[in-house]
Structure 1
Amino acid sequence: MNKGYVLNGRYEIISRLGEGGMADVYLAEDLILKRKVAVKLLRLDFRDNPKAKKRFQHEAMAATQLDNPHIVGIYDVDEVEGMQYLVMEYIDGEDLKKYISDHFPIPYAEVVNIMEQICSAVSEAHRHHIIHRDLKPQNILVDQNGYIKITDFGISRAGTEDTMTQTRSIIGSIHYLSPEQIKGEMATQQSDIYSLGIILYELLTGKVPFTGDTAVSIAIKHSQQAIPSVRDFDPRIPQAMENVVLKATAKDPNDRYPTVERLADDLNTSLDRSRANESKFVVPNHHPDLNEATRVMPFSPLSDEKAAADQVEKRTGPTNAATKNPKKKPPDRKKKRRRRIIITAIFGLLVLVVAFILIATASGKTVVPVISGTTENEASRKIQAADLQVGKIRYHSSDQVDRNRVISSNPKENTKVKKNTKISLVVSSGPRKVLVGNYVGQNYQTVRQKLEREGFKVKKRNAPSGTFNAGRILQQDFRAGTKLNPAKQTLTFVVSTGIKQITLKDLTGMTKSQVVNYANKEEINPTFDYVYSNDQPKGRVVRQSPGANEVIQQGGNVAVWLSRGAKTKQQDTLKSFNVRVTIPYLNDQSSSTPLAGSNSSETTVSGSSDADTQSTPTANTENVVFIYLKDHDHDFSTIYKQMVITKDTTVMLPFKLTKNEVGRYKVVRDGKTILRDNNVTQNSQ
C-alpha cells in the first residue's frame, strides 16, 4: 500500500512501519480525528485463508475486551474492498527487543519498572480469562518516555477454551515458549508467567537463556535443562531478583507463581535491603523417585521364596553351599546391639508419655490442642475431643492466614487447663480489602493521599492531554468497583500534564517538503496555497498564519502560502477550471492499447475527487491508478493522486493556467499510461 492512499475514505497512509507473518503495519493519519494511528492490514496472499482471517478477527476481539493503559488500544475494525484491517493506537518508539539492544545494561530499578508495567497488562488479560500465549519482547512496545504497551493478541485464547492446537503443532515464539506448550499441552496463566520469566532473564542479561541451530534443539533445552543463573552472568544481581526468574521459569507449572500479581509483588521487593541475604530458590522435589539414578534392587521378586529357604536353614543347619564358603563374615553384633538399645529407649519414652497423659487425666486436667491454621469446624471438634468447650469466636482480617481458619486461641495451644474450660478463638476473615472507585478526572494528589491512608502504594505516570487539565487523572490500571488488598496492591495512575504547546518557528523560505517534515515532528497540520511573490523563488514559503513565535496547541492548523514566483503580465490572466476525465476499469479480460509512460517513487497527495459509476464489470480485481498533473502550481514529475477503482470512474482534475500556458495530465495503470492529454488550456473547459 503506497503513501497517500486513503483507506476507507478516512485513514491516509504515511509510511510502512513493519511486516509480519500474515499482516503489514502502516503509519496513517486519521483524517476525521486528526491523529496518527497504526493500521494493521491482512496481507493479500492471506485474504482467502480462513484460518488467517479468523486469527486476525480474534486479535481484534481479544484486544477490544481489555482496558489497560499498558495494552495497545484498538480504535476500529473493518473490511473494505476485500481488505481486512485493524486501526490501533500508534506508539512512537521501538519494541522491547531493540530497546534492550540499545540500552543494555539496564539498571535493575528500571528492569523492575518495565516488568511491573508488562505484568499490569498481562494481569488485565488474565482477569478476562485471556491467555496471550506469545509474550516476547517483539510484542512489547516502548514509547519515547519509557512507557510500555503490549500488542499482538493474534494467538491468544480464552482460558475456558481448549488451547491445545488441533495438530499439536507449536504456536508461539520458541525462545519464550513454556515447556507445556512445547509438548502440545494446554496453555494456562502459568504459561504466560514462564514467558515473563524469560523476558526478565533477557532484561537482566541482554540475551535469551537458550539458543540452538534449530527450533527443536531450543525446545528440548526449555523442556529438560535448568535456566542458566543470571548471577553467573552478573554477580551484582540480587539473589532475590534471580529467585523471581527461577520461580517464574520452573519446568512444572505448579511450581511457578500462581498469578502474575504474585510475580509482580515478589519482583517489586527484590531490591529491598530486607531481602539482601535471601537464599537461592530451589524447585520443590515433588517426585523424588523420578530424580534418582537407575539402581539395582537389593533382591529379586522371588524374595518370598528366599525368606522361606532361610527359615528351613535355621531349622536344619546350613546347606552344602554355605558349608563350602567358610570365609562368610558373621553378622555385625555391635550394630544389632545398638539397634536394640535404640528400640528400648523409644519404647521407654512412649511409656513415659502415656504415663503423663494418664496422670493429667486422673487429675482432671487436659491440654489445649494445636488448632492454628485449621478450619473453624475442625478446631471445634479438636477442642471438644480434648474435653474442652468452644468459647467466644472473634473474626479478624489477616494477610497470612486464609479466610475461616484459626489465627490463635485463648488459652494458647499446648497449655494445660482444667477440663471443660472455654477456649476462645480468633478466626481469619481473610485479607483486609478496600473498595476502590473510578478516579478518572479527579485531582491526583487528593486521590493519592486518600488511597495511601488506606494502605495502598500509589504510582504515577505522566502523559499529555487536551481533555484534562494538568494534575488530573487520565487512566487507572485497576477496575472501579472492586475490592483490593492494600498490602499487596500497587495502584498506578496516568496523570495529565496538559496539552502540549508548540511555539511555531519561522517557515519563510522553506520548501513544501521541509514544512511537511517539521509539521510531522511537532504534530501540527499544515494547509497549502499558492501566491505570486517577488521576494521568494517558486516553491518557497512566502508567509504563514499563525506567524513565527506564536503558540498553538499540538494538533493545531497552520496555513502556509508557497510562492508561484514573480508575477508577469501574462499571469494576470491566471484562471482556475476543472477537466472531467473518465478512467476505464480494466479487468483480466480487458484489452487496450496503452501508451508508453513512467512511474515515480515519490508520492504527493493533494486535491479531491468526485467519483461517478459508469459501468460495473463482472470481475472484482482492483485497479491501482496514478494521476500526474502539470499546471501553473503542479509539477508533472510527482504523483498528483493515487486511486483504487473497481469500476469505470470519473474524476475532476483542477487546473490553474494563464492564457498562454499549456497543461498536461496522464493516468497510469501497472506502469502503462492508459489516458493522456498534453494540450490542456483555458479553452478545455
Structure 2
Amino acid sequence: MNKGYVLNGRYEIIDRLGEGGMADVYLAEDLILKRKVAVKLLRLDFRDNPQAKKRFQHEAMAATQLDNPHIVGIFDVDEVEGMQYLVMEYIDGEDLKKYINDHFPIPYAEVVNIMEQICSAVSEAHRHNIIHRDLKPQNILVNKNGYIKITDFGISRAGTEDTMTQTRSIIGSIHYLSPEQIKGQMATQQSDIYSLGIILYELLTGKVPFTGDTAVSIAIKHSQQAIPSVRDFDPRIPQAMENVVLKATTKDPKDRYANVDQLADDLNTSLDRSRANEPRFVIPEHHTDPNEETRVMPFPPLSDAAAAKNDTNKRDESVGTIKKDKTPKKATNKKKKRRRIIIASVLALLVLLITFIMVVTASGRTRVPVITGTTESEATQKLQSASLQVGKVRYHSSDKIDRNRIISSSPTENTKVKKNTKVALVVSSGPRKVRVGNYVGQNYNLVKQRLQQEGFKIRKRNAPSGTFKAGRILQQDFRSGSKLTPTKHTLTFVVSTGVKQITLKDLTGMTKAQVVNYANKEEINPTFDYVYSNDQPKGKVVRQSPGANEIIQQGGNVAVWLSRGPKSSQKDALKSFNVRVTIPYFDAKSDATSSSEPLAGNDSGTAPTNSDDSSEATQTSGSSENVVFIYLKDHDHDFDTIYKQMVITKDTTVMLPFKLTKNEVGRYKIVRDGKTILRDNNVTQDSQ
C-alpha cells in the first residue's frame, strides 16, 4: 500500500511500520479525528484463507473486550474492496525485544516497573477469561516514555474454549511457550504466567533461556530442562527476584503462581531489604499418599447365602435323628399349613396397601429442580416442567454469580414439595460497581484510603517528577469515569517521589563494573570513554563529570573516563578507525544448503575459508529473527566479553570501532545461535 493512499475514505497512509506473518502494519492519519493510528492490513496472499481471516477477526474481538491502559486499543474493524483491516492505537516507540537490545543491562527497579505494567495488562485479559497464548517481547510495545502496551491477541482464546486443533498443533512462539502447550495440552492462565517468567528472564539476562538448532530441540528443553539460573549470569541479581523467575517457570502448572497478580506482588517486593536473605526457591515435591500403596486385604467372610446354607446343614444334621425317631401327626401339619396361608395373605395385602399409598402420595408431590446459576427464563422453564410456579423474585448483588442468574431459591433445590408450590427466587444483579475518577495530582494516601474503603486493592509504583510534589499521583492505570468491580480490580498508581537529588560520590579508582553497580543503585546513567593515565592502572576510573560531591537529579548523566594505562611512546600512538562488516541474515525457510557463509578472514591472514562450525543447515525453524553476538578485541575491549548483542531480520551492515597502536593486532568474531559465522583475527591500523 503506497504512501498517500486513503483507506476507506478515512485513513491516509503515511508510512510502513512493519510486517508480520499474515499482516502488514502502516502508520496512518485518521482524517476525521485528526490523529495518528496504526492500520493492520491482512496480506494479499491470506485474504482468501479462512483460517487467517478468522484469526484476524478474533484479534479484534478479543482486544475490544479489554479496557486497560497497557493494552493497545482497537478503534475500528472493517473490510473494503476485499481488504480486511484493523485500526489500532499508534504507539510511538519500539517493541520490548529491541528495547532490551538497546538498553541492556536494565536496572532492576526498571525491570520490576516493566513487568508490573505487563502483568497489569495480562491480569485484565485473564479477568475476562482470555488467555493470550503468545506472550513475547515482540508483542509488547514500549513508548518514548517507557510506558508498556501489549498487542497481538490473534491466537488468544477464551479460557473455556475447547478447540480440536489445540491438541494437534503447537500455537505460539517456541522460545516463550509453556511445557503444557508444547505437549498439546490446553493453555491456561498458568501458561501465560510461564511466558511472563521467560520474559522476566530475558529482561535480566538479555537473552532467552533455551536456544537450539531446531524448534523441536528448544521445545524439548522447555519440557525437560530446568531454567538456567539468572544469578549465574549476574550474581548481583537478588535471590528473591530469581525466585520469581523459578516459580513462574516450573514445569508443572500447579507449582506456578495461582494468578498474575500474585506474580506481580511477589516481584514488587523482590528488591526489599527484608527479603535480602531469602533462600532459593525449590519446587515442592509431589508425594503419593502412603495409604494408597498396595495393601493385603483381609480374607472375605462367608456370604449371607453361604452362611445360611451352612447353618441349614448343621440344623439338618442335628435334627436328623429326631426325624427318624419322631413322626409328626397329620392334624398338626394341616393347622401349620393353614396358618402359613393366612399370614402370607395378610402380608400381601399390606404390601399392596403401602404401594397404593406411596403412589397416591407421590402423584401429589414434586422436587425443586437445580436452578442455581441458570438465567431467570431457564429457571422458570425448569420450575414449570416440575409442576411448580415462580414466586417472588428479588435481586441481590453477587461477586460469584453472574448478572441475571439465579443465586438461590426458597424452598431450596432438591426439596420435595407439593405440586404448584410457589418458589421464590433470588437473582444476581451482578457485582457491586464503583465509579472511579481522575486522581492525577491528588494526595496518594488520601485516595488510597478512600478507595480501599470501597473494597479496591491498591498498588503503588514510585517515579521521580519535577512537576508534582512527593506523594502526589502522576499516573493511574484505569480510565476516569469508568465503573469497576472492587473485588475484581487492582488499581495501580504511579506516585511522585519529587525531584530526587543525588550527591555524586568520588568514582576515581573504581572499575567499570563498580561504576555500573553504583549507577543502577542511584538510578543515574553513566557513559564511558578511555584515556591514557600514569596515575590509575588500566581499567580504573581516572576522572568524572560532574565531579565528586556535585548534585545531579535522579536519571541524570555522569561521564566517566577509564584508564588505558600509561602512554609509552609516540610510535605507539593510538589510532581510531572503523571496520565495516555486513552480517548475513539466515532465513530458516530457505534452502538449508545455501546457508554456509564465508568468514572475513582466518588466523593466518590468508584467503578466507569456511569455518568448521559455520554451517547453518539446521538453524532454528520457524523463527523470523537472528540473534547475533559480536565479540571485539582492541586496545580497550576484551575478546572474552560480548561487545554487542543485536537482533536482525535482514542482511545488516555494522561499523565496528577499533582503537589500536601501530604494533597491536585486533580481532572480531560474529556468532549466531552459538556458531561463528564471520571472523577476522588480523585487524590492524592498515585494515581501514
TM-score (norm 1): 0.48
